[in-house]
Structure 1
């Protein structure tokens, strides 16, 4: 073999090599679906543009999620212990002032305690804040499930909500994230997983949907379709940068809540920006953004 042969072979185009998987979370897919401009700012622009500070409803939601996570680790998980965990996890960021923060901390202490009163501590979940994933075609999907229950031999995906507006059964039915979590759980655990639930902690209500294998398949196909479009846009961005025309803004009510609107003139023109504590003083938009948690 001549010295130049190896280099020459390396220079030949490779054929039959599968394309690398495109990694995504439900939040990433929904960001592209809801607003390609936001997707570009969040996932592609480098250096990443700075975001606005954390809003109060995010601080509140994180504190409640952390309290409900840590409750299962207590040696004696009584409902009233949830209030102390809320205190321990509370994040005093984004509120109008200390008075508003104290008011909502008290409300969430009571809400978490009441919610845990209907939870059986002896029925320990299969997973808490469990990372799940699956591969379908060119898509590698990864997400995080708040709670995974075992009920009558089947697994149930549980997602906590702390918004002002309680979700409905239709919200559970249409949620792309919940369906993808269920598909990932079924594949990872090899156990039937069709039921998804949204537990609204402030009201103690539950929004429920029972998927079918066919409806989960349709949701996975929807995710793959979004992923193909996003991947095509990624390639265009790699070639053209900010000159790419595949990242138009989709303006609407959510622009007032977007933490990247400072970098989007169209979003700024869509309406006034919401205050850090606006979601605690008025009903949140019926279609809430699902960008923050997976």
Structure 2
């Protein structure tokens, strides 16, 4: 009598689940308007980027590629050569971005690319990239604080001096902001400063914002006590997010920034109705998009 055996089907590899994390953009969203945070991080509602936002993403890509070149090659002429291939690469990765230009004439697209080139030219007026070597560009950073909050983000550039001092650099493709915009930008930079401080045990010597539209720089020097207070602020934001996440009670916070929001039709402050709350997101609500990082 033969003995039969059962052959089990191969089991699929478990999908790696990333822990929910806090990014500078999503933390800033929650501070600005908890409902905006929900729409972006929980509901994951699509948003149509503007051509100005795409231009910012393109400029960031060109500058990243520029710093991948040997130092003597980081000149305006080479940056210009990188522009169109960088846009071809980005639009291939995100075909929906190209659709924004579907009704444009070729000369209009050329004009848009030329506007990006002007921002890159402005960058060269702020510093000479042939004179230094950054430690990293578009650096992904992640750290879990002692309280259990997981912080995650992308830093445009990290420079390390021969003495070991850190400089955190962020490119902004808009003009130097007024008070509200400046506070938002510094919030982002302090977020990165906290992460790098906890990762390396070194308080960054300088946080530098480079505004390419008008060729201005804003430099800020944090200290350890300030970063400790800011770390507590991030922990409080995360606890508030978790509390709202349990019930779905993400309330709108109307402000002058509502005029730039894609979600007014769903916002109770404008007579709209949010979609049914889907529950707290898994695997992750903290990932930043290229548009976030170029804002």
TM-score bracket relative to the smaller structure: 0.7 to 0.9
Determine the structure 2 residue equivalent to 1:255: 258
Query: TM-score, normalized by length of structure 2?
Result: 0.72
Alpha-carbon offset, residue 62 of structure 1:
0.3
Alpha-carbon offset, residue 171 of structure 1:
2.2
Question: Which of 154, 166, 171 is the aligned partner of 2:176?
Answer: 166
- CA-atom RMSD in angstroms: 2.9
Note closer, same or farther for the CA distance 1:143–1:255 as it changes in structure 2 (3 Å cut). Answer: same
Contact 1:173–1:208 (Cα < 8 Å) also in 2? no
SS of 1:207's equivalent? strand
Note closer, same or farther for the CA distance 1:183–1:132 as it changes in structure 2 (3 Å cut). Answer: same
Note closer, same or farther for the CA distance 1:291–1:82 as it changes in structure 2 (3 Å cut). Answer: closer
Query: TM-score, normalized by length of structure 1?
Result: 0.73
Note closer, same or farther for the CA distance 1:63–1:259 as it changes in structure 2 (3 Å cut). Answer: same
Determine the structure 2 residue equivalent to 1:233: 244
- 2:132 matched to 1:123? yes
Determine the structure 2 residue equivalent to 1:57: 52
Q: Kindly report which structure 2 residues correspond to 1:1-294, keeping only aligned pairs within 5 A, or say none.
A: 23-45=21-43, 48-49=44-45, 51-75=46-70, 76-90=73-87, 94=100, 97-98=104-105, 99-116=107-124, 118-136=127-145, 137-151=147-161, 152-163=163-174, 165-167=175-177, 171=182, 175-237=186-248, 246-267=249-270, 292-293=292-293
CA distance in 2 between counterparts of 1:230 and 1:197 reads: 29
Alpha-carbon offset, residue 77 of structure 1:
2.4
Higher relative contact order (CA 8 A, sep 6+): 2
* Paired residues, number: 243
Contact 1:179–1:216 (Cα < 8 Å) also in 2? yes
CA distance in 2 between counterparts of 1:217 and 1:112 reads: 35
CA distance in 1 between counterparts of 2:221 and 2:183 reads: 9
Contact 1:199–1:206 (Cα < 8 Å) also in 2? yes
Note closer, same or farther for the CA distance 1:114–1:55 as it changes in structure 2 (3 Å cut). Answer: closer
Contact 2:252–2:268 (Cα < 8 Å) also in 1? no
SS of 2:225's equivalent? helix
- Out of 76-85 and 213-222, give the one that drifted further: 76-85
Q: Which runs of 5+ in 2 are unaligned?
A: 1-18, 92-97, 273-289
Contact 1:134–1:141 (Cα < 8 Å) also in 2? yes
Determine the structure 1 residue equivalent to 2:12: none
CA distance in 2 between counterparts of 1:210 and 1:42 reads: 31
Q: Which runs of 5+ in 1 are unaligned?
A: 1-20, 238-245, 270-289
